[in-house]
Each structure stands twice: as structure tokens, then as C-alpha cells.
Amino acid sequence: MCALLSGSSCAPSTETPKSAGTLADSFNTERAWKDLEHLVAMGPRQAGTAGAEKARVFMEAQLTAAGLKPVREAFQQQTPAGPLDFANVYADLAPRDKAATAPWILFCAHYDTKRLPGTFVGANDGGSGTAVLLELARALAAAGPREFGYRFLFLDGEESVNLEWVDPDNRYGSRHHAAKLKNSGQAAKFRACVLLDMVGDKNLNIEQEGFSDPRLHAVFAEAARELKLDQYVSAKRGAEIIDDHLIFMAAGIRSVDLIDFDYGPGNSYWHTLNDKLEHCSAQSLGIVGRVVLAAVPSLEARLALR
């Protein structure tokens, strides 16, 4: 995960799209937690390793079971450790109106883990966002196509290869995907990018990340308030975090990073072997998942006015 700046498609459905409350209730917290347990049990998922491949196979199987068609976006990139093989995985839920001008929303999370000595499993940093995103994909696919299309993007290579985070040694997957969107002209159809990162902390506290579009974050903060979960997801302005969302912002896509960058006392669990399952909770995954799903109708309404 990221760096902190100092000081700061399933088959067409004839069902009526679910309301905000019904969507929120459709998030299966237990299943998301089992996904996280499964990812952690794989061990490290460093880019270019067998662990990352295990994660991809698992994610692809889950997306397929949800009625979606996963796409593997493989590429090779030069890194400080030499050329590495990376692969993003994504699946699309097409909008009801399949016209080329239909608007889309991008949901994304990184699944890779930091290269650290020892067995770093990235339960929160890499695992939690992936688990929530898988369950969001299931819930939205089961609800049926909406006015907006949705892309569920699982990013490889967010973590730097070297210990220190120095550009361009980081965010390999988002750089690759954003460049493809921009070069193909598809970036214009994406009205927003919603990044999920480090959302499993037992002591969940998601504030407005400093670089994020405040209008987008406000939609999630309001959804949390309506669900009486605003003690966990608030409108309070927080720190500025360098993360994957900035890559999509640079490609012209309005973006928000839903992140709790305060993991353990003084953030002491981040990028250490203490980032393990016992410091995460199913409740936190469920809170984030429910808030995101509850926000979907309002998010679409706001973005439709763009």
C-alpha cells in the first residue's frame, strides 16, 4: 500500500435495480471474511510470484461463479529487481443501455503484497480491499444491470519492489491499466474511480483522503450517516495518501480513495509482519461493503449530472 505525505458481465437481467437499503443489505460479510481468510492462507502475494498467481486464479474463479467474465491483463515491466511479470484482473458488469456512450464507474483494489523479509501476508494491506471488492462484484452482479456500467479491477504491483516508495517503482498495475484506458479513448466513459485500500482494520476509521474528490467522498460519508455508521466512515478531512487513485486522476477520471491509514498503535502494523488476520475484522469489511453499496444510487445520480 501507498505512501503518506507528511502533514496532511453478468447476463442481462429484467429485475428492477435494488434500492440503496436493499443493496447495502445484500453485502455478505461472512463471505467477504472467508475470502480474506483464503487470501491470507495463500501467504505472500508479491508481484511476479506463485503467490500472486494463486490469488489471480482464486479471484477469477469467484468472479466467474458470480456470472461475470474475468479478464486477465498481463504485462511485463522493468523494475529494480529486473523485469517482472504482472497481471491485473478485471470483470465488467455492463449497463442496461449498452451504447458506447453509457457511463461507467471503476471499483478497484490491489491484491499484491509488499516484498518484506519473512512471511508478510498483507491481511489489511492488499487482502481487505480485495475481499470487499469481490463481494461488491457479487452483490452488484446479482442485483442486475444498472444505468451505469461497473468495472471491478484487481490491481497487481501497487507495492514498490524496493523497500522505499520512489516513483516509478510502485503502482505498476494502475499505471498500465490507466494508460490503456487513456490510449484507447475509454477513459472518458469512466465517470469515477473508487479505490478500496486498507479497509479491514479492527479499529476502522475512514476519513476523506486529502487528494480525493471531496464530492465523491461526501456521497460515501452521507451513506454511512444514513446507515448510522458515520463513526467509521466520516466526512472529516484526513491525510494525503499517494495511492492508485492518483494514477486514474491523472488520466482524467474523478477518484476517491476509501482508506484507513492508521493501522495499529501509531500505524505500527503497516508494512510489518503484524499485518495479519487477527488485527482485521469481519465487521470492518461489512461496514465498508454496506456503505459502498448504499452509496451506489446517490453516486450514480450525482455523476449523471456531470
Map out the domains of the chain as residue ranges: 3-304
pLDDT at res. 1: 59
CA 233/CA 42 separation, integer angstroms: 30
Assign 240 a pLDDT band (cuts: 50, 70, 90): very high
Over residues 228-240, mean pLDDT: 96
CA 9/CA 149 separation, integer angstroms: 9
pLDDT at res. 20: 57
Assess whether pLDDT exceeds 80 at residue 4.
no
For the entire predicted model, the pTM comes to: 0.93
Assess whether pLDDT exceeds 80 at residue 7.
no
- Give every CB contact of residue 51 below 8 A, 6+ residues apart in sequence: 42, 43, 44, 45, 113
pLDDT in tens, 125-152: 999 999 999 999 999 999 999 999 999 9
Assign 117 a pLDDT band (cuts: 50, 70, 90): very high
Sign for the pseudo-dihedral over CA of 91, 4, 50, 202: negative
CATH top class, domain 3-304: alpha beta
pLDDT in tens, 62-106: 999 999 999 999 999 999 999 999 999 999 999 998 777 899 999
Q: What cell does 195 get?
A: 479505490
CA 86/CA 24 separation, integer angstroms: 33
Question: CA–CA distance from 156 to each of 29, 106, 113, 176, 218 (Å)?
Answer: 24, 16, 9, 10, 28
Single out the residue of 178, 158, 189, 162 nearest to residue 81, CA to CA: 162
Over residues 17-41, mean pLDDT: 88
Burial of 14 (C-beta count, 10 Å sphere; 0-12/13-18/19+): exposed
3/64: higher pLDDT? 64
pLDDT at res. 306: 66
Assess whether pLDDT exceeds 50 at residue 12.
no
pLDDT at res. 286: 98
Q: Average pLDDT, whole number, for the chain?
A: 93
